């Protein structure tokens, strides 16, 4: 359940860069964010620039927040969400929320790549989950050995921070690196390698290994400890009310995702549409979750299937993104109707699950009657929405399974080649322009089962994937950083139509003797 990665500083938008679909006056936008500062009395705890790191599953810590020193090591005082030092003095308007999203626009020279990847830690001898005590020891070991700052929630260590990188814990103890905003894929892969080296160095001494796969292949859900983070308890209680697989999503899935920038509302719309239309292809190319509780589960990407019955009010393919009227405002309307999980006040989570952010904006949120939301409440609410592509002040591509390190580098390469090159982006738009909502949803439904061999129009999805991967490779070549080699792994998958999941199933039914345990060695980092 990767939530946030910061991909660069906010860029102030000119009038020419925004198409308002709801009648807001474009000339106001350049100064609107400054007025929000006055409206909310936002002191150093909140900045329109991205914070100096992303930590703790999308929970943000800014440089102005309280810290203490213990034993010469900096300890961040809380791993909580962004929270203003004072309450809002005036109600937020929808215009404020639209301007918040629009403030993410930035010129192409400031576009960056933010990569996030999760992995399962396990006890090498027994192949059992790590306990929280072991996770705590691992985080403390990384902090001491490699000079990470500790992120605390009360007395519990729940993450680490170093510069603009963060290490966080997903609900079931999945270990996540939220990468820094980087300019090239070479930097991204170097960051991945450095992180894996550090994690392995600290973990091996404890008898801990890390598995790169999209869905936990062996453990039952009740065998996995829930991490001691206040927000997770609220979500854990709410999930069974809205879907049958939400707890599996929390405890037993791992993903790789990439966060990318846009220069205007129009650019955001084009990238959002390509990202949604082609997300099933990414899911197929990176499919790597064919086992559940020691046996084949009937899917190539069980992780992707999990999201189809988690909470349909906050997941899916968002067909409204393809409407002519779509823009920042329409996404705000959608997000306002996604039920809330919580708000954060005085270092405590307040359960607001199922309640309306619209009521909050009217001062009618029942746990805090008469109180209005701040921009940080809005920012936190956006992190609790999980469609296949997510909009904040950047776009998150969310369709890939966790996997081996080469695939960690390949997923951002795929999307950067498609979305950061104008020619490839336009060609991708042309390819998908006449796909119907029904076809896009069909691909979303079928790909977790049949992968690249999903029938599509007059052929198979792998034939479209081959064209799309070539577009991505060509886009990387035009970037001029010699990055196209990062796509070699998925180029072969597209050529053959054989996913990593299918290779694992072949091993399971062959030399593994229908025993899933060897996957822990096969996909060990």
pLDDT in tens, the chain (525 residues): 443 333 333 333 333 333 333 333 333 444 455 555 455 443 233 333 333 333 233 323 233 333 333 333 333 333 456 554 456 668 999 999 999 999 999 999 999 999 999 999 999 999 999 999 999 999 999 999 999 999 999 999 999 999 999 999 999 999 999 999 999 999 999 999 999 999 999 999 999 999 999 999 999 999 999 999 999 999 999 999 999 999 999 999 999 999 999 999 999 999 999 999 999 999 999 999 999 999 999 999 999 999 999 999 999 999 999 999 999 999 999 999 999 999 999 999 999 999 999 999 999 999 999 999 999 999 999 999 999 999 999 999 999 999 999 999 999 999 999 999 999 999 999 999 999 999 999 999 999 999 999 999 999 999 999 999 999 999 999 999 999 999 999 999 999 999 999 999 999 999 999 999 999 999 999
Note the helical H segments in 392-457: 405-419, 422-432, 437-450
Round to whole Å and give the CA distance between 474 and 471. Answer: 5
From residue 45, how far is each of 41, 103, 504 by CA, in Å? 10, 18, 47
Q: Which fold has domain 94-338+385-523?
A: Creatine Kinase; Chain A, domain 2 (3.30.590)
pLDDT at 90: 81
Residue ranges covered by each domain of the chain: 94-338+385-523
Number of Cβ atoms within 10 Å of the Cβ of 428:
26
In the chain, the N- to C-terminal Cα span, in Å, equals 20
In terms of Cα–Cα distance, which of 278, 486, 521 is closest to 400? 278
pLDDT at 80: 53
Instruction: Report pLDDT for 189.
Output: 97
pLDDT value at residue 328:
98
Q: Calculate Rg over the CA atoms of the chain.
A: 22
Of 225, 18, 1, give the one whose Cα is nearest residue 121. 225
Closest CA to 261 of 13, 66, 524, 93: 13
| Contact between 509 and 450 (Cβ < 8 Å) | no
Tell me if 4 sits within 8 A of 60, measured CB to CB: yes
Contact 176, 118 (CB under 8 A): yes
Provide φ and ψ at 42, rounded to 5°: -85, 105
What is the distance between the alpha carbons of residues 386 and 379, in angstroms, rounded to a whole number? Answer: 14
CA 437 from centre of chain: 24
Phi and psi (nearest 5°) for 145? -80, -35
Q: Compute the distance between CA of residue 428 and CA of residue 443 in angstroms, rounded to an integer.
A: 16
């Amino acid at each position: 359940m990767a939530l946030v990665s910061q991909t660069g500083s906010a860029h102030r938008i000119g009038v020419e860069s925004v198409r308002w679909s709801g009648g807001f006056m474009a000339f106001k936008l350049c100064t609107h964010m400054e007025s929000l500062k006055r409206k909310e009395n936002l002191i150093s705890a909140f900045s329109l620039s991205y914070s100096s790191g992303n930590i703790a599953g999308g929970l943000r810590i800014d440089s102005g927040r309280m810290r203490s020193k213990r034993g010469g090591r900096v300890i961040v005082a809380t791993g909580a969400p962004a929270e203003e030092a004072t309450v809002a003095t005036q109600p937020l308007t929808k215009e404020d929320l639209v301007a918040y999203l629009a403030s993410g626009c930035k010129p192409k020279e400031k576009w960056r790549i933010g990569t996030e990847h999760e992995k399962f830690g396990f006890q090498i001898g027994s192949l059992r989950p790590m306990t929280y005590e072991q996770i705590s020891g691992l985080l403390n070991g990384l902090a001491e050995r490699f000079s990470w700052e500790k992120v605390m929630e009360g007395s519990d260590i729940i993450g680490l921070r170093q510069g603009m990188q963060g290490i966080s814990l997903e609900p079931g103890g999945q270990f996540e690196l939220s990468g820094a905003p980087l300019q090239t894929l070479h930097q991204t892969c170097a960051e991945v390698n450095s992180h894996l080296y550090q994690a392995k160095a600290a973990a091996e001494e404890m008898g801990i290994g890390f598995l790169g796969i999209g869905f936990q292949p062996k453990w039952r859900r009740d065998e996995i400890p829930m991490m001691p983070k206040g927000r997770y308890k609220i979500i854990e209680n709410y999930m069974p009310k809205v879907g049958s697989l939400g707890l599996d999503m929390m405890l037993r899935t791992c993903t790789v995702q990439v966060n990318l920038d846009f220069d205007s509302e129009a650019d955001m719309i084009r990238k959002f549409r390509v990202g949604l239309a082609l997300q099933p292809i990414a899911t197929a190319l990176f499919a790597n979750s064919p086992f559940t509780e020691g046996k084949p589960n009937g899917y190539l990407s069980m992780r992707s299937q999990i999201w189809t019955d988690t909470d349909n009010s906050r997941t899916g393919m968002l067909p409204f993104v393809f409407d002519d009227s779509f823009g920042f405002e329409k996404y705000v309307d959608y997000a306002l109707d996604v039920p809330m999980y919580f708000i954060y006040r005085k270092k405590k989570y307040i359960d607001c699950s199922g309640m309306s952010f619209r009521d909050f904006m009217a001062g009618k949120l029942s746990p805090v009657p008469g109180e209005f939301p701040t921009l940080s409440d809005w920012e936190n609410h956006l992190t609790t929405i999980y469609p296949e592509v997510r909009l904040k002040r950047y776009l998150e591509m969310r369709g890939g399974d966790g996997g081996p390190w080469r695939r960690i580098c390949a997923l951002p390469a795929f999307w950067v080649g498609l979305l950061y090159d104008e020619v490839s982006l336009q060609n991708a738009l042309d390819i998908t322009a006449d796909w119907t909502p029904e076809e896009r949803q069909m691909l979303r439904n079928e790909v977790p089962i049949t992968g690249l061999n999903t029938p599509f129009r007059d052929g198979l999805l792998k034939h479209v994937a081959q064209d799309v991967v070539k577009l991505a490779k060509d886009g990387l070549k035009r970037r001029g950083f010699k990055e196209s080699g990062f796509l070699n792994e998925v180029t072969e998958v597209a050529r053959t139509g054989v996913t990593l999941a299918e290779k694992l199933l072949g091993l399971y039914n062959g030399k593994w003797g229908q025993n899933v345990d060897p996957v822990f060695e096969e996909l060990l980092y």
